[in-house]
Amino acid sequence: MKKTVDVALPVGPMHPCWKEPVRLKCEMKGEHVLACEVELGYAKKGIERIMRGRPWQEVMFLAERICGICTVIHNYVFIETVEEISEITVPERAEYLRVIVNELDRIQSHLLANFSYCYTIEHETLGMYLLSIRETALDQLELITGARITCAYMIPGGVRFDLSGEDAITLQEGLSAIETETMRYRGMFETGPMIGLRSKGVGILTTEDAKIVGAVGPTGRASNVPFDVRSGHPVYQRLGFEPVVYDTCDNWGRIMARFDEVLQSCALIRTCLLKMKPGSIRGGGAIKGGEAVHSGEAPRGELRYYLKTDEHGRVIDISIRTPSIPNIEASGHYMIPGVSSAADVTSSFISCDPCVSCCER
């Protein structure tokens, strides 16, 4: 990729804005970024290789530790794949409890992503507000599952713990706090003049480019690609789910899409609490052999598992496609080249919410 270049600017692998090791090699002409190359490989652990040949009881915990920020969805999709192979049905209450925990995880992940963006554009005040409200979401997660991050809440046939009436009231109060505060911070982000200068029209990913590169999640939806795996999920269809779509195609739209999804997740949890009836939270069933492909909507986009097991439940083959791969590609190929300042490189990269440990596994 050598061109007429003034400066080659490396960013990372250790950088104050990065939470995980990744390196961007930018080619600059003055302050103008001409090209960018993303260098991955600092967090490769070979999880899929470890998974092969192990029983599902072990792989379940390994799958959860692919990514620390979106642990719940990895657990959710892996367990749903196992259930699809073994034809296990889940009680209705457990289905709603799964959605509640998944949406709480999405809330905390989106708030963390928006914190990272605000921190990167040097708006630390708003970032700290968002971290503060994220703790409320983590408290609710701890209340239901017993752990803040790696909770292993879902198991084949249901969930581990029930939600008691008192806890449901605490959850409602927590949701009200999250909603009011998020509305306030969303307003601050929407109208902030300095935030607008740093975000509007920066890191453009047009709809055509998003379709070519296959951008998923809020990154794709902010570029007017109305694709959300939750629209096809039977439980979410019962809840009347509609994806959030923005057509601004820039950093500002991606962050606003995440704010809107936080509010949407709060509404989904409330609907779940209304629709939930008392009953069993754990069904029965036996693990069978077979293979299946299953998708779920992670906070960053579509997460897909291919799983092949033998009749004892041992994993013969597994392949995981995480949403960060197309999003990092979109960021490196389309968002960053063309930004007019070196300071916008980090903010454009963070705006697609890259999760390197997800991406490399």
Partner 1 sequence: MSLLQKIKNTVRSRSIHVCYVNTGSCNGCDIEILACLGPRYDLEQYGIYVHNNPREADVLLVTGPICQQWDDKLKSIWDKMPEPKVAVAIGNCPISGCLYDREGSYVNPPASKYIPIAAEIPGCPPCPREIIGAILSLAPEIFRDYEEKNK
The residue among 86 and 114 lying less far from partner 1, judged by its C-beta, is 114
- Tell me the closest approach of the beta carbon of residue 296 to partner 1, in angstroms: 18
First to last CA, the chain: 27
- Tell me the closest approach of the beta carbon of residue 310 to partner 1, in angstroms: 19
Positions touching partner 1 (CB under 8 A) are 13-16, 19-21, 41-47, 49-50, 52, 58, 61-62, 65-69, 71, 112, 115, 128, 131-132, 134-135, 138, 148-150, 355, 357
DSSP 57-116: HHHHHHHHTT-STTHHHHHHHHHHHHHHHHT----HHHHHHHHHHHHHHHHHHHHHHHHH
The residue among 102 and 109 lying less far from partner 1, judged by its C-beta, is 109
The residue among 46 and 278 lying less far from partner 1, judged by its C-beta, is 46
The three-point CA angle 24-30-34 to 5° equals: 50
- Tell me the closest approach of the beta carbon of residue 108 to partner 1, in angstroms: 9
Q: What is the separation of C-alpha 144 from the centre of its chain, rounded to a whole number of angstroms?
A: 20
The residue among 71 and 348 lying less far from partner 1, judged by its C-beta, is 71
Cα radius of gyration (the chain): 21
- Tell me the closest approach of the beta carbon of residue 219 to partner 1, in angstroms: 18
- Tell me the closest approach of the beta carbon of residue 152 to partner 1, in angstroms: 11
Angstrom distances, CA of residue 350 to CA of 105, 173, 223, 259, 357: 19, 31, 16, 15, 14
The residue among 159 and 355 lying less far from partner 1, judged by its C-beta, is 355
